[in-house]
Amino acid sequence: MNMFAQLISTLKKSPKTIVFTEGTDPRILEASARLLSGNFLKPVLVGNPDEIAAAAEDIGFNIRGAEIIDPENYDGMDEMVDKMVELRKGKMTADECRAALKKSNYFGTMLVKMGKADCLLGGATYSTADTVRPALQLIKTKPGNKIVSSCFIMVRPAASGENEVLAMADCAINIKPTEDELVEICKETVSCAKIFGVDPKVAFLSYSTLGSGKGEDVDKMRNACEKAKALMPDTPIGGEFQFDAAVS
């Protein structure tokens, strides 16, 4: 079973609700139409209902059955504002929170935080920073974690004929992580890979392969690799490697 089939099978057993913060984007509308036909993820589109319906009609996608929530006319806005003020702990006033919640990225994030949805997808038109910032401010880190990190899931054909799944971290959040932060990024990426049904083998990437290059960054990756091995002795971990050596 490939990765996507496994994900769909899991979701059909326990359907979830996903918020799309860019409700008029053609890619989001196509994804929503496909999800509605599969009955394993309930899409919630954030935006003006008339504009979303018109955009869907223009490109020929049927999104009947999708929930559309307009921040401008949301009955629970006062409750959401109060919750956001509490979460920001004096860093934003009620008026500032109300203004922020008129933006779909903040509004969608608060829907997740308040349990109205299970997850959020954004970034079709929002920048990475504008997509991630509300989550950092409102949802924050998992208990026990010191940092937030990201990973990209890449699926590519392998020589065996099967698709190979790569989880690449961290390419979006932490610009220059420390050794210990690299170890935490490794641990969370391993956990993420397992969620996607991948039996992970980890490579710490560098411009050096096992000592072929020198420098502080090489030393940092090598040391982080050794710390990760000690933390996760049952996970195959190696490095430092250049990318071509790691995937060959």
Residue 226: Cβ within 10 Å count: 15
Q: Is 212 helix (H, G, I), strand (E, B) or coil?
A: coil
Q: Which CATH class is domain 151-247?
A: alpha beta
Taking alpha carbons only, the member of 101, 109, 179, 185 closest to residue 149 is 185
- Domains of the chain, by residue range, sit at 3-138, 151-247
pLDDT band for position 9 (50/70/90)?
confident
How crowded is the C-beta side of 191, counted as CA atoms within 13 Å?
A: 10
67-69 and 151-157 strand pairing: unpaired
Q: pLDDT of 41-69, one tens digit each?
A: 999 999 999 999 999 999 999 999 899 99
Q: Using one digit for the tens of pLDDT, what is the confidence trace for 90-117?
A: 999 999 999 999 999 999 999 999 999 9
Band of residue 3 on the pLDDT scale cut at 50, 70, 90? confident
| Mean pLDDT in residue range 121-140 | 93
Residue 164 confidence (pLDDT) = 85
Give the pLDDT of residue 10: 86
pLDDT of residue 207: 96
* The two domains 3-138 and 151-247 share their CATH topology (first three levels equal): yes
For the domain made up of 3-138, the CATH class stated in words is alpha beta
Question: Given phi > 0 = left and psi -120 to 50 = alpha, else beta, which region is 219?
Answer: alpha
How many Å apart are CA 24 and CA 46, to the nearest integer? 9
pTM as predicted = 0.87
